[in-house]
Structure 1
Amino acid sequence: MRRIDALGIGLGIFIAGGLAYVGLQLFGLDSQQAGIWSQVVLMLGLIGWLGTYVFRAVNQDMTYHQQREDYEQAFFQKRLDELTPEELAKIQAEVEQEKQSQV
């Protein structure tokens, strides 16, 4: 996420809080009650967002993890493409030998 995206999201949340406050006042609540309920709504939204963030972090479903996995796959594929057929056959023989020794 770019810095401008974070600023835009923060501004959007600030505006949403103000709109919730004004909407609650128009609905008939006094300013104190409208302030309390708009804060409750924003806090529930924050807790919900935090929950999704923690869930994605625990499951390693974050952008960083995906980018790192893609990089590692591309790196190993490039290294594999650089091997000569003789080196590739040697590595395959070693892998088969390890499989046989584990069984």
Structure 2
Amino acid sequence: MISGKQKRFLRSKAHHLKPIFQVGKAGVNENLIKQVDEALEARELIKVSILQNCEEDKEEVAQNIGKGTRADVVQIIGSTIIFYKESQENKKIDLP
């Protein structure tokens, strides 16, 4: 679990990032979770956008992806979710 200070730091780091995954009508599935997990290992901090045709609630999508990848949800803002997971091999971000 990350602290409030660490979340603020990660939000500032994620500000300039573009979403690299979109959750659509199919919702959250095993393939999406696997790809998000691989991206988190490579980048540590990513954004996921939720399309309007997604039938799941954004909090539910964040919880499902977070649980499936064991990542922390940094922020849900609008239809964008920011995830953070410390990388095992490609550590780039040093949390305060």
Say yes or no: TM over 0.5. Answer: no
Return the structure number with greater relative CO, CA threshold 8 A, min gap 6. Answer: 2
Structure with the higher helix share, 1 or 2 = 1
TM-score class normalised by the smaller sequence: under 0.3
